[in-house]
Structure 1
């Protein structure tokens, strides 16, 4: 077969690319959709910040959690006004995270993963608790969990094995976020897709193990053991250079210094 012949596309596989194209257009023109960095403070630029630029700032490792939460609280509140432009803008700002979640889902299911993750992200905008820390993490985790449940129902015969179909969603583009290290670890078969989601949610997105257990319907003790084993493999792979990457140290530091949120009781379920 001619290598220039494109692979057969899966349903909805270009949706996130289409959204990104329209999102970039939002940042152009004399009056782009933007937020006022002076009002938000917390190290954000003291001027109007167009949403595409805001997305890049929030996903950079140097951006603090307080600034990220303040910006996302504003985005969620504006999206809740019913203004379609702000709902679309919130999706655009979250695109790096949505791409990663869609990438994980595409390894498990053959359905329209991009449409599912976007749909449930939009629904989560209406229900996420903006008074709790980790707003965007809660949004992405809720969208991932709901999309995974929906796709699993549509694919009852699925074995749960990774899907390497030609039309699989491409890995996320390099935004300099620690999630990319998890994606590299998954591709290297150091951790599974479920373990990548668990580590990403509970270490990088600030979701407690208890909240994650409630959200996914899994026993907390099982998740704790699963995460402990996965983190050990991840650390070993980083230290051996298997996941050589300039951002590997970010994940290594996070998993080494954050409290393990160990169960208060050590009884097996």
Structure 2
């Protein structure tokens, strides 16, 4: 797919310029990586940290610990660290925005703005104690940008958003839509769709649900795995690509 051409003054390109100015020599903003297991035992300028994250794969615990520290800096130390945190996330945010607006060039600038606004909202409000912190922050940005498209002429999102180690692999179509379609078509139960959505994309731990239902976490994971395999097979066959065409014509809550 041909990359999207950005104008010089979208929200994300302006953020990149601000990040460049903040982190240039002779006094770039530096991040203390020493408290983060899995990162170098050193301080490093933020552009170096961003490059490290782009080209080296780190486990989820390392990435979450890094982002807990960056988010805390943004909250405690003011606007410079807000710009710094955004700058570290920009490769992922730019990729997400490009995937959302693929095929919708007239919405590209609005998508950029909303993706950035969603990420800023996550910086301000996300619970740092929750697992999969970076994944949740990306989903907040994704959903904010996707609302620009889903609120317009289509409810479908661009397929297969993947940015390597910098952000999660997005499913083909919005995950909530896919799960709703799978349940509506009878491929999986509504309870299985809720289980996947709550534990994969929400804040619910599978151990919590298992305790509430009086079963073991292993049994609930097996139930989720079976449902996910059914949905994955349906996606591969293309069975879920057009089950719901227009939110206005079917269920108005789908677009939400």
Tell me if structure 2 keeps the 8 A contact 1:16–1:95.
yes
Q: Which has the bigger relative contact order, CA under 8 A and spacing at least 6?
A: 1
- Are 2:172 and 1:192 aligned? yes
> Shift in Å at residue 98 of structure 1?
0.7
> Shift in Å at residue 227 of structure 1?
5.4
- Structure 2 residue aligned with 1:58: 53
Aligned equivalents of 1:151, 1:94: Cα separation in 2: 22
- Are 2:36 and 1:28 aligned? no
Point out where structure 2 has 5 or more consecutive residues left out of the alignment: 179-195, 204-223, 238-256
- Structure 2 residue aligned with 1:177: 165
Q: Which has the larger radius of gyration?
A: 2
Aligned equivalents of 1:229, 1:104: Cα separation in 2: 25
What TM-score do the two structures reach when normalised by structure 2?
A: 0.59
Aligned equivalents of 1:159, 1:175: Cα separation in 2: 24
- Are 2:15 and 1:19 aligned? yes
Aligned pairs (5 A) from 1:104-123 = 104-107=99-102, 110-111=106-107, 112-123=110-121
Aligned equivalents of 1:67, 1:130: Cα separation in 2: 14
Q: Secondary structure at the match of 1:30?
A: coil
CA gap of 1:30–1:213, structure 2 versus 1, over 3 A, is: closer
Aligned pairs (5 A) from 1:100-249 = 100-107=95-102, 110-111=106-107, 112-149=110-147, 151-153=149-151, 155=152, 158-160=153-155, 176-177=164-165, 192-194=172-174, 209-211=197-199, 228=229, 231-232=232-233
Point out where structure 1 has 5 or more consecutive residues left out of the alignment: 1-7, 164-171, 184-190, 199-207, 216-222, 237-269
Count of residue pairs the alignment pairs up: 194
Q: Secondary structure at the match of 1:120?
A: helix
Aligned equivalents of 1:66, 1:214: Cα separation in 2: 18
What TM-score do the two structures reach when normalised by structure 1?
A: 0.57
> Shift in Å at residue 232 of structure 1?
4.5
> Shift in Å at residue 25 of structure 1?
3.6
Aligned equivalents of 1:192, 1:108: Cα separation in 2: 15
Aligned equivalents of 1:59, 1:233: Cα separation in 2: 32
